[in-house]
A = this chain, B = another copy of it.
């Protein structure tokens, strides 16, 4: 039993190393430009060995994205444990977290509408279940925030949810990061401001009347 468990641990460790590499490459180049050869090279094993763990490139990417969703769910767990935080602050904390993941180069970009990956993800129950779970938890905060007017009640909740997902891989962040003239904190501050208060800059100026 102990030996089996040990082997199992080794297996898990290797697979996690694989998924970490896939995750990084997905963030850097996206699914289409990432090659299985690169993944194998980065992990330091032969390509054929990869295919013993995962049966296709799509499954490889799906496993990495499931891992990201699991991290997101763990983060949501943490936040939900705090009862003293309002729904708007929770949503802002989530967006901040996604930006930190982006800055760390660990946020895979959304698959294009036609990608073979998209098909695979839609058919992957493990992935879809987690995506639905994340959406439902965010949906509860969105509903609360809209009920109290902290989030614009005129916006359909769907629009708010999609916007949060989209900001999790907003190209503005990588453009600013590539420009190199702002610190990570400044980037996050500006993007949080535009996400929640818009380019016009909402309620911070209390209208000099």
Contacts and interface: CB of A to CB of B under 8 A. Distances in A.
Contacts of A32: 30, 32-33, 112
A155 B29 contact: no
Interface string A172-196: 1011101100100000001101111
Contact of A196 (B109, B110, B198): B198
A142 to B, nearest CB: 9
A179 B162 CA distance: 11
A115 interface: yes
Given A28-B113, A113-B29, A113-B174, A199 B156 contact: no
A194 B198 contact: yes
Interface stretch (A55-63, A66-74, A200-208): A200-208
Interface string A22-34: 0000001110110
Contact of A115 (B33, B91, B110, B178): B33
Given A156-B182, A163-B172, A112 B33 contact: yes
Contacts of A112: 29-30, 32-33, 109
Contacts of A205: 149
Contacts of A174: 113
A160 interface: yes
Interface residues of A, number: 51
A197 B190 contact: no
A207 B199 contact: no
A4 B120 CA distance: 53
A26 B110 CA distance: 17
Interface of A: 28-30, 32-33, 88, 91, 109-110, 112-115, 149-156, 158-160, 162-163, 166, 170-172, 174-176, 178-179, 182, 190-191, 193-203, 205, 207
Which 4 residue pairs are nearest across A and B when measured between Cβ atoms? A152-B201, A202-B202, A198-B198, A197-B198
